[in-house]
Amino acid sequence: MHNKRPAKTPKKTYKSGRMRRLEIRQQRIKKALGNSPVKFASLHKWSAQKAGAKKPHGAIWANPQTMASVSAYPVVPLYYVDKAFTCARCGVEQLWTAKQQKWWYEIAQGELQSTAKHCRPCRQAVRMEKYQAKLTHYTGLIQKHGLEDAAQRLKLSVAELSNWRDKNIV
């Protein structure tokens, strides 16, 4: 009988969690892009201009490094273009400009899956309704329970509530 040696198994290389996540992210991006001419070396060092992407007239380049939820939604936009939408509240056709989109996604750190839903006048109306409800609630609490007890119920200091009341009630 002759003894056969078992076949050598390739040595397993271990990667850090960070490196593995980066590798998975690159695989997802590659899969999402398919045969797109844009190639990603790394999402963190990526630049659409350097990758050779062409943007439509009137579009604004996106900056993926400043976007909030890159890990949750790995496909980031190359550029922003004006998008038409219908206001959910009043039904008026509106335009969400590329400049507004850039502000929303990169400055305000809005979710990449979100889009405009309400026009500016409707957003202002909702804001005013919320302000009026807060004003009514606070003044009602002050009238019913007094300033000190209302401040305690609202978890505010008496000075904060007093300043808010003086500033908002004419």
- 96-133 pLDDT per residue, tens: 999 999 999 888 888 888 889 999 999 999 999 999 99
pLDDT band at 146 (very low <50, low <70, confident <90, very high): very high
Structural domain boundaries in the chain = 17-118, 122-168
Ramachandran region, residue 109 (left: φ > 0; alpha: ψ -120 to 50; beta: rest):
left
Beta-bridge mates of residue 60: 80
For residue 119, give the DSSP letter: -
CA angle at 50 for the pair 103 and 55, rounded to the nearest 5° = 55
What is the tens place of the pLDDT at every residue in 68-82?
Answer: 655 555 677 888 899
Please give the C-alpha separations between residue 111 and each of 6, 50, 81, 165, in angstroms, as whole numbers. Answer: 53, 25, 17, 35
The least confident of 33-37, 57-61, 100-104, 154-158 is 33-37
Does residue 2 carry a pLDDT above 90? no
Give the percent of the chain with pLDDT over 90.
37
What is the value of pTM for the model shown? 0.57
pLDDT band at 40 (very low <50, low <70, confident <90, very high): very low
